[in-house]
Amino acid sequence: MSVHRFAVNVTPKPGILDPQGRAVEGSLDHLGISGVSAVRVGRRVELTVDAADEKAARAIVERLAAELLANPLIEAYAIEPIGGVA
């Protein structure tokens, strides 16, 4: 067994209305920032997996992401290995 750490980045799918992203964009004027657009607000989930090897660990994360962390109707996800401990 070995320990693996991952992050799952969940974002609204293209075309899905993201009112949070719009709210962020709406605040940019107040900061005096221009030239920023297409803000999309998502969620990042970091987790540690105990598994036989990295491949097995990734398969667990893949299942978790598809079934729980993201709703495939409205959200996309990307899995990335990260270092360190929680």
Partner 1 sequence: MPVRIGVVVFPGSNCDRDTVHALSLAGAEPVELWHEHVSLDGVSAVVLPGGFAYGDYLRAGVIARFSPVMRSVAAFAGEGGLVLGICNGFQVLAEAGLVPGALLRNRDLRFLGRDVRIAPERLDTPFTHALAGTDPLRMPIAHGEGCYFADDTTLDALETSGGVLFRYVDEGGGRADDDRRANPNGSLRAIAGVLNEHGNVGALMPHPERASEGILGSTDGAGIVRSLVESAARATTEARPLVGARG
Helical (H) or strand (E) element with 30: helix 19-31
The span from the CA of 73 to the CA of 16, in Å, is 10
CB of 53 to partner 1, least distance (A): 27
In angstroms, the CA 83 to CA 56 distance is 17
Residue closer to partner 1, measured from CB, 19 or 81 = 19
In the complex with partner 1, the residue whose CB is nearer, 16 or 36, is 16
- Look at the alpha carbons of 75, 80, 82, 86 in this order and tell me if their dihedral is positive or negative: positive
Of the pair 72, 81, the CB lying nearest partner 1 is at: 72
Find the shortest distance in angstroms from Cβ 54 to partner 1.
25
**To the nearest whole angstrom, how small is the minimum distance from the Cβ of residue 65 to partner 1?**
12
CB 6 within 8 A of CB 59: no
Residues that bind partner 1 (CB under 8 A): 16-17, 19-20, 23, 68-69, 71, 73-74
